[in-house]
Copies of this chain bind each other. A is one copy, B any other.
Amino acid sequence: MFTVDVKRRTVLRAAAAGGVGAGLAATGVAAPAGADRRTGTDGPARRPRIAVLLFDGVTPIDAIGPYEVLCRVPGASMLTVGKRTGPVRSDNGVLTLGVDHTLRDVRWADVLLVPGGNVRGVQADPAMIGWIQQLHRRTTWTVSVCTGALVLGTAGLLRGLRATTYWGVQTQLAQFGATFVPHRFVESGRIITAAGMSAGIDMALHLAAKLADDRIAQALQLTVQYDPQPPFDTGSPDKAGPELQRLALELLNPGGR
C-alpha cells in the first residue's frame, strides 16, 4: 500500500504552487503496509482510496497502466482486490499479479477500477458482480479499461450511458443499454470507461486531474514519461483498416473478447 503522510503532502502542495525545494529526502514517504487511510486527517476527496479488481484472465496493462499514474496521486492509497489473496494469472497465462485483499475485506473505495481481459468468469460470478454494485454505491468514480466495461455493463451500471470499450467488442455494449462512443475514454456522470488496454493510461491522467488538479496530472505524465511516439500509426481500427483489424484479433488470442 502506498500512502503519503501529511508532511509530505504539504511539500507537494508547495510544489504544486511552484515553490518546491529539495526536502523530499527529509520526509517520510511510505506509510506501513496495511495502514488505514480512514485514520488520516484528510477527507476522502483528498486521500483517495483506489481499489483495483484483479481476477484470473486479467489483461495486465489494463490495471498496470492506470496504476502507475494513480498510485502517485498525492495521498492516494491503492489496494488490489480479488476473490482470494495470492496470484491471479493473466489472460494468456504468462504473468501473475498478486491480490492483497479479498472482496470481503474491502467494503468501500473512492475509486473502483475494473480492468479487462477474459472477463467471462467475472461476469458469471454473482459475488464479484455484487461486490462491484455495492462498492459503486459509494464511489466517487467507478472506472473501467478495455473489456472491463462489459463487467460494469453486467453489473447494470451502464444503462442509458455513453461508454467505450475494447474496439473488438464495441457492439456488445448495446446489450447493457449503453451507447458506444469511439473515444479514448468517456466520462458519463461518475463512470469513466476507457478504450482498449493502453487507453487506461490516458484515462488515468484525466482521472488524476479530477482527484488532484491539472498540475499534478501534468507532472504525473512526466513521472511516467508518457510522451508517446509509436513507430507506426495503426492504433485505432479506423487508422488500421479491415485487414489489420482481422490480423490484430488473430494475434489477441481471443479467449474472452
A221 pairs with B232, CB closer than 8 A: yes
Q: Which residues of B contact A226 (CB under 8 A)?
A: 197-198, 228, 230, 235
A83 and B211 CA atoms in complex are apart in Å by 38
**Does A57 have its Cβ within 8 Å of any Cβ on chain B?**
no
The interface size bin for chain A is 35 or more
Q: Which residues of B contact A249 (CB under 8 A)?
A: 24, 223
A236 and B219 CA atoms in complex are apart in Å by 10
Question: A199 — nearest CB in chain B belongs to which residue?
Answer: B225
Report the minimal beta-carbon distance from A98 to chain B, rounded to whole angstroms. Answer: 3
Question: A23 — nearest CB in chain B belongs to which residue?
Answer: B250
Report the minimal beta-carbon distance from A140 to chain B, rounded to whole angstroms. Answer: 18
A219 pairs with B239, CB closer than 8 A: no
A253 and B15 CA atoms in complex are apart in Å by 14
Q: Which residues of B contact A144 (CB under 8 A)?
A: none
Which residues A61-111 have CB closer than 8 A to chain B? Answer: 61, 64-65, 67-68, 71-72, 74, 78, 80, 87, 92-98, 100
**Does A243 have its Cβ within 8 Å of any Cβ on chain B?**
yes
Partner of A251, one of B209, B223, B250: B223
**Chain A window 180-206, contacts with chain B (Cβ cutoff 8 Å), 1 for yes, 0 for no:** 000010000000000111110110011
Q: A94-B67, A96-B97, A230-B228 are in contact. Are A219 and B247 (CB under 8 A)?
A: yes
Partner of A30, one of B1, B201, B234, B253: B253
Instruction: Find the residue from A2, A68, A251 having the highest chain B CB count within 10 A.
Output: A251
A216 pairs with B251, CB closer than 8 A: yes
A254 pairs with B24, CB closer than 8 A: yes
Q: Which residues of A contact B (CB under 8 A)?
A: 1-2, 11-12, 15-16, 18, 20, 24, 29-30, 33, 59-61, 64-65, 67-68, 71-72, 74, 78, 80, 87, 92-98, 100, 146, 166-167, 184, 195-199, 201-202, 205-206, 209, 214-232, 234-237, 239-240, 243-255
